[in-house]
Protein backbone atom coordinates (compact mmCIF):
# COMPACT_ATOMS: atom_id res chain seq x y z
CA UNK A 1 0.00 0.00 0.00
CA UNK A 2 2.93 2.32 -0.67
CA UNK A 3 1.58 5.74 -1.71
CA UNK A 4 4.68 7.94 -1.68
CA UNK A 5 8.33 7.13 -2.14
CA UNK A 6 10.83 9.78 -1.04
CA UNK A 7 14.47 8.74 -0.89
CA UNK A 8 17.34 11.22 -0.72
CA UNK A 9 20.93 11.65 0.38
CA UNK A 10 21.82 7.95 0.44
CA UNK A 11 25.24 7.42 -1.11
CA UNK A 12 25.30 3.62 -0.65
CA UNK A 13 21.95 2.77 -2.30
CA UNK A 14 22.42 0.99 -5.66
CA UNK A 15 18.97 -0.53 -6.29
CA UNK A 16 15.60 0.05 -4.66
CA UNK A 17 13.76 -3.19 -5.42
CA UNK A 18 15.43 -6.44 -6.41
CA UNK A 19 13.36 -9.50 -7.24
CA UNK A 20 15.28 -12.74 -7.73
CA UNK A 21 13.41 -15.20 -9.95
CA UNK A 22 15.01 -18.13 -8.12
CA UNK A 23 13.24 -17.08 -4.90
CA UNK A 24 9.86 -18.11 -6.27
CA UNK A 25 8.32 -14.71 -7.06
CA UNK A 26 6.18 -14.87 -10.18
CA UNK A 27 3.90 -12.39 -11.89
CA UNK A 28 3.81 -8.62 -11.49
CA UNK A 29 4.46 -6.68 -8.32
CA UNK A 30 1.62 -4.17 -8.27
CA UNK A 31 2.18 -0.73 -6.77
CA UNK A 32 -1.47 0.21 -7.26
CA UNK A 33 -1.46 3.02 -4.67
CA UNK A 34 1.92 4.59 -5.53
CA UNK A 35 1.28 8.16 -6.67
CA UNK A 36 4.55 10.05 -6.19
CA UNK A 37 8.21 9.08 -6.47
CA UNK A 38 10.96 11.48 -5.38
CA UNK A 39 14.61 10.46 -5.68
CA UNK A 40 17.42 12.93 -4.96
CA UNK A 41 21.20 12.74 -4.52
CA UNK A 42 21.51 8.99 -4.84
CA UNK A 43 24.96 8.85 -6.41
CA UNK A 44 25.19 5.03 -6.80
CA UNK A 45 21.57 4.30 -7.71
CA UNK A 46 21.54 2.49 -11.05
CA UNK A 47 18.16 0.70 -11.16
CA UNK A 48 14.89 1.47 -9.42
CA UNK A 49 12.34 -1.21 -10.35
CA UNK A 50 12.53 -4.53 -12.24
CA UNK A 51 10.26 -5.16 -15.23
CA UNK A 52 7.85 -7.17 -13.07
CA UNK A 53 6.45 -4.01 -11.44
CA UNK A 54 3.20 -2.32 -12.38
CA UNK A 55 2.16 1.28 -11.57
CA UNK A 56 -1.49 2.04 -12.19
CA UNK A 57 -1.71 5.27 -10.15
CA UNK A 58 1.66 6.96 -10.67
CA UNK A 59 1.13 10.71 -11.08
CA UNK A 60 4.49 12.36 -10.43
CA UNK A 61 8.11 11.31 -10.63
CA UNK A 62 11.02 13.58 -9.72
CA UNK A 63 14.60 12.37 -10.11
CA UNK A 64 17.38 14.81 -9.20
CA UNK A 65 21.14 14.19 -9.19
CA UNK A 66 21.21 10.44 -9.69
CA UNK A 67 24.20 10.26 -12.09
CA UNK A 68 24.52 6.46 -12.14
CA UNK A 69 20.83 5.87 -12.92
CA UNK A 70 20.62 3.72 -16.01
CA UNK A 71 16.95 2.81 -15.90
CA UNK A 72 13.92 3.57 -13.77
CA UNK A 73 12.03 0.49 -14.91
CA UNK A 74 14.10 -2.35 -16.29
CA UNK A 75 12.37 -3.73 -19.39
CA UNK A 76 13.86 -6.80 -21.01
CA UNK A 77 11.80 -6.61 -24.24
CA UNK A 78 10.62 -3.00 -24.65
CA UNK A 79 7.45 -2.42 -26.68
CA UNK A 80 7.69 -0.85 -30.12
CA UNK A 81 7.51 2.93 -29.43
CA UNK A 82 5.55 3.51 -32.63
CA UNK A 83 2.69 1.28 -31.51
CA UNK A 84 2.76 1.63 -27.71
CA UNK A 85 1.09 4.33 -25.66
CA UNK A 86 2.68 3.19 -22.38
CA UNK A 87 5.12 5.35 -20.47
CA UNK A 88 6.46 2.33 -18.55
Q: What pLDDT, in 10s, does the model give residues 30-48? A: 888 999 999 999 999 988 8
Task: Give the distance, in angstroms, between the CA of residue 56 and the centroid of all CA atoms in the same chain.
Answer: 13
pLDDT category of residue 87 using cuts at 50, 70 and 90: very low
55 closest CA partner among 39, 70, 73: 73
User: How many residues in the chain?
Assistant: 88
Write the pLDDT tens digit of every residue in 57-72.
989 989 999 999 887 7
Sign (positive/negative) of CA torsion 55, 38, 7, 50?
A: positive
Amino acid sequence: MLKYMDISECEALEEIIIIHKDEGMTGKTNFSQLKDVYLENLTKLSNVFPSSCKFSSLEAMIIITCPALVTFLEVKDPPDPTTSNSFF
